[in-house]
């Protein structure tokens, strides 16, 4: 049966803190306005916000299963034309430690992933002007010839925008040019597109921190083209730096708007977590791929990591006596607007003060994303930078997915602490949070429910020696053991 997607209606006059209204939000009967989102973020008690986000999550995903995926993040090159001031990973052409992996190195990494039951490779790089379109096509064809069972989740929107700049494809619009490149990469083996490079969409913030990276319109257009080709993608947000809280909500609002557009233009998915014309009924997670049009499958947000970055050297908010004077406002909040059109000149210190995100700010942001993004299936717990146990708590704050069991990570770990977990620890974290762990694939279909005596965590006899490790460099995870590890995911 074909379903007609209908975006939820808003109720602008409702008090965002009214339990009756929030119950309707949790049931998927009404959608938050940006103003209500801001009120909820600022005024709702943390645990109450988490409780409503959890209710929404349970409405979509049921009470039992929470998922993870086994994949490997391969950063195929660190050469990049952009100069994002939050990035400790990029190198310029000619730098001593600049690299581009050889095909054989890439194939070896994917072989190792395949050997341990991995299902997906996440490939993201810098934007390297020395690589041709044929380099990418040959790479993708080579992967699919050798590993037809591995899903290739690769090349985030900023990379695609630079592909257009580097390869000069035919077409009279950005959309045409993107489609020309994307069709070729898709034919060569690209399966889906990760949401890297989302950062914060609002222009005043984006132009300060993401020098040389595409703007929000180009980022969202890239994903729209992918959706038009039937591809699934994810959306991300990196917060906890110079942005205001309204910028986070504006970011979520753009994702929600463009998801509406994709679902309306390319067909609604026929799994029952999306509103049709009545409030949703609780259900169990789907177990087979659907054939609906492309759209965002997931939203993942994480806090900025400051180590080794130019942005990390910016003075922290609260460090100066005047920051505590009555009426003092964080510059990001003074500039931010729910419409994303704040005037960066409206505060002299905008971009010069940093407001890092701690655990409660992270949980608050993640919970709000679950309530706000009523048309997105999965919210990921990005525990990688906050630590496994904050991620675990995230499962009670609206997250349905614990992200990636990966074998390496290089980008986020260049800028601060990330963690390594093996599959057993990951399953234990999910189980101890009150859920049954399940391995999923890229389309969020369940591959294996880990509820028997052979579940990875049930096979561990001594948890005193079986713990999370911290990861600072790629080698730390790989050297740790032959088992799976979890690293940072920017999908
Ligand atoms: S964040 Fe990505 S696009 Fe920006 S400089 Fe680093 S590698 Fe390049």
**How many angstroms separate the CA atoms of 440 and 448, rounded?**
7
Please answer whether residues 255 and 216 qualify as being in contact, where contact means their C-beta atoms are separated by less than 8 angstroms.
no
**Which pLDDT score is estimated for 163?**
98
31: helix, strand or coil: strand
- Mutational test site, ligand 1, from 76, 78, 80, 211, max ligand atoms within 8 Å of CB: 80
293: left (phi over 0), alpha (psi -120 to 50) or beta: beta
**How far does the centroid of ligand 1 lie from the alpha carbon of residue 413, in Å?**
13
| DSSP bridge pairs for 65 | 436
**How many angstroms separate the CA atoms of 307 and 88, rounded?**
8
C-alpha distance across the termini of the chain, in Å:
31
**How many angstroms separate the CA atoms of 376 and 28, rounded?**
11
Please answer whether residues 90 and 404 qualify as being in contact, where contact means their C-beta atoms are separated by less than 8 angstroms.
no
**How far does the centroid of ligand 1 lie from the alpha carbon of residue 210, in Å?**
8
Question: Which residue, judged by its Cα, is nearest atom 3 of ligand 1?
Answer: 82
**How many angstroms separate the CA atoms of 491 and 489, rounded?**
6
**How far does the centroid of ligand 1 lie from the alpha carbon of residue 453, in Å?**
43
**Which pLDDT score is estimated for 276?**
38
**How many angstroms separate the CA atoms of 468 and 480, rounded?**
11
**How far does the centroid of ligand 1 lie from the alpha carbon of residue 90, in Å?**
6
**How far does the centroid of ligand 1 lie from the alpha carbon of residue 86, in Å?**
8
In a domain, 130, yes or no: yes
In a domain, 156, yes or no: yes
For residue 158, give the ligand 1 atom closest to its CA.
Answer: 3
Instruction: State how many domains the chain has.
Output: 1
For residue 126, give the ligand 1 atom closest to its CA.
Answer: 7
Please answer whether residues 263 and 296 qualify as being in contact, where contact means their C-beta atoms are separated by less than 8 angstroms.
no
**Which pLDDT score is estimated for 470?**
58
Which residues, including other chains, have CB under 8 Å from residue 180's CB and lie 6 or more apart?
A: 169, 170, 171
| CA distance to 63, 249, 299, 349, 466, per residue, from 256 (Å) | 25, 10, 10, 31, 40
In a domain, 12, yes or no: no
Question: Which residue, judged by its Cα, is nearest atom 4 of ligand 1?
Answer: 84
Which residue, chain included where needed, has tokens 């009120």?
39
Question: Which residue, judged by its Cα, is nearest atom 1 of ligand 1?
Answer: 87
In a domain, 11, yes or no: no
In a domain, 248, yes or no: yes
**How many angstroms separate the CA atoms of 202 and 341, rounded?**
7
In a domain, 98, yes or no: yes
Which residues, including other chains, have CB under 8 Å from residue 102's CB and lie 6 or more apart?
A: none
In a domain, 268, yes or no: yes
**How far does the centroid of ligand 1 lie from the alpha carbon of residue 25, in Å?**
36
Phi, psi of 307 (to 5 degrees): -60, 140
CATH code (residue 341) = 3.20.20.70
pLDDT one digit per residue (tens) for the chain, 491 residues = 556 788 999 999 999 999 999 999 999 999 999 999 999 999 999 999 999 999 999 999 999 999 999 888 899 999 999 999 999 889 999 999 999 999 999 999 999 989 888 889 999 999 999 999 999 999 999 999 999 999 999 999 999 999 999 999 999 999 999 999 999 999 999 999 999 999 999 999 999 999 899 999 999 999 999 999 999 999 999 999 999 999 999 999 999 999 999 988 887 654 444 443 333 344 444 443 444 578 999 999 999 988 889 999 999 999 889 999 999 999 999 999 999 999 999 999 999 999 999 999 999 999 999 999 999 999 999 877 788 889 999 999 999 999 887 555 555 555 555 666 778 989 999 999 999 999 998 888 889 999 999 999 999 998 888 876 654 433 434 433 323 333 333 45
Question: Which residue, judged by its Cα, is nearest atom 2 of ligand 1?
Answer: 126
Of 197, 195, 251, give the one whose Cα is nearest residue 223: 195
**Which pLDDT score is estimated for 269?**
54
**How many angstroms separate the CA atoms of 252 and 299, rounded?**
9
Scored b (16 or more CB within 10 A) or e, 440-451 reads bbbbbebeebbe
212: left (phi over 0), alpha (psi -120 to 50) or beta: left
Q: Which two tokens stand for residue 349?
A: 């210190």
Please answer whether residues 358 and 269 qualify as being in contact, where contact means their C-beta atoms are separated by less than 8 angstroms.
no
Pairing of strands 436-440, 446-449: antiparallel
Ligand 1 pocket by Cβ (under 6 Å): 80, 82, 84, 87, 89-90, 126-127, 158, 213
The CB density around residue 310, as the number of other CB atoms within 10 Å, is: 15
For residue 78, give the ligand 1 atom closest to its CA.
Answer: 7
Pairing of strands 401-405, 418-420: unpaired
Which residues, including other chains, have CB under 8 Å from residue 3's CB and lie 6 or more apart?
A: 268, 270, 274, 276
In a domain, 9, yes or no: no
**How far does the centroid of ligand 1 lie from the alpha carbon of residue 324, in Å?**
34
Q: Which domain holds residue 263?
A: 36-480
**Which pLDDT score is estimated for 485?**
31
Q: Which two tokens stand for residue 296?
A: 């965002």
Of 158, 160, 168, 166, give the one whose Cα is nearest residue 93: 166
**How far does the centroid of ligand 1 lie from the alpha carbon of residue 243, in Å?**
18
Please answer whether residues 404 and 459 qualify as being in contact, where contact means their C-beta atoms are separated by less than 8 angstroms.
no
Which residues, including other chains, have CB under 8 Å from residue 446's CB and lie 6 or more apart?
A: 65, 67, 285, 286, 287, 438, 439, 440
Can you list the positions of beta strands (E) in 423-479? 436-440, 446-449, 469-471
Taking only Cα atoms into account, the Rg of the chain, rounded to an integer number of angstroms, comes to: 21
Q: Which two tokens stand for residue 436?
A: 């049954």
| DSSP bridge pairs for 210 | 84
**How many angstroms separate the CA atoms of 234 and 109, rounded?**
23
**Which pLDDT score is estimated for 192?**
94
């Amino acid at each position: 049966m074909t379903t007609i997607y209908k975006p939820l209606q808003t109720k602008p006059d409702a008090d965002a803190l009214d339990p009756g209204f929030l119950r309707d939000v949790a049931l998927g009967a009404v959608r938050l306005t940006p103003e209500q989102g801001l009120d909820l973020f600022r005024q709702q008690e943390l645990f109450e916000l988490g409780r409503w986000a959890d209710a929404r999550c349970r409405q979509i995903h049921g009470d039992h299963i929470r998922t993870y995926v086994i994949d490997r993040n391969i950063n195929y090159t660190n050469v990049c034309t952009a100069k994002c001031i939050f990035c400790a990973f990029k190198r310029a052409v000619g730098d001593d430690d600049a690299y581009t992996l050889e095909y054989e190195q890439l194939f070896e990494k994917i072989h190792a992933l395949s050997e341990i039951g991995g299902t997906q490779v996440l490939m993201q790089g810098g934007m390297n002007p020395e690589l041709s379109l044929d380099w990418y096509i040959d790479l993708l064809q080579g992967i699919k010839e050798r590993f037809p069972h591995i899903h290739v989740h690769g090349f985030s929107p900023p990379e695609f925008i630079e592909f257009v700049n580097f390869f000069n494809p035919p077409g009279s619009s950005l959309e045409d040019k993107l489609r020309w490149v994307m069709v070729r990469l898709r034919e060569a083996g690209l399966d889906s597109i990760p949401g890297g490079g989302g950062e914060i969409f609002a222009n005043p913030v984006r132009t300060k921190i993401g020098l040389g990276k595409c703007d929000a319109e180009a980022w969202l257009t890239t994903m729209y083209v992918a959706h038009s080709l039937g591809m699934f993608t994810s959306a991300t947000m990196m917060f906890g730096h110079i942005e205001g809280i309204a910028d986070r909500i504006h970011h979520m609002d753009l994702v929600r708007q463009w998801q509406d557009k994709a679902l309306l233009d390319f067909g609604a998915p026929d799994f029952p977590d999306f509103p049709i014309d009545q409030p949703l009924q609780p259900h169990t997670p789907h177990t087979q791929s659907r054939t609906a049009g492309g759209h965002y499958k997931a939203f993942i947000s994480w806090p900025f990591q400051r180590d080794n970055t130019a942005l990390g050297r910016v003075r922290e908010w609260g460090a100066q006596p005047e920051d505590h004077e009555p009426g003092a406002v964080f510059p990001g909040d003074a500039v931010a607007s729910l419409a994303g059109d704040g005037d960066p000149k409206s505060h002299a210190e905008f971009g010069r003060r940093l407001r890092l995100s701690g655990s409660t700010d992270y949980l608050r942001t993640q919970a709000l994303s679950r309530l706000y993004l009523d048309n997105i299936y999965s919210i990921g717990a990005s525990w990688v930078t906050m630590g496994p146990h904050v991620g675990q708590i995230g499962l009670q704050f609206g997250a349905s997915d614990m992200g990636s069991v990966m074998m390496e990570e290089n980008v986020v770990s260049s800028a601060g602490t990330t963690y390594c977990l093996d599959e057993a620890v990951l399953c234990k974290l999910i189980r101890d949070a009150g859920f049954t762990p399940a391995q999923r694939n890229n389309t969020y279909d369940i591959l294996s429910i880990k509820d028997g005596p052979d579940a990875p965590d049930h096979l561990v006899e001594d948890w005193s020696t079986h713990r999370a490790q911290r990861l600072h460099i790629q080698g730390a995870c790989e050297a740790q053991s032959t088992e799976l590890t979890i690293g940072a995911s920017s999908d």
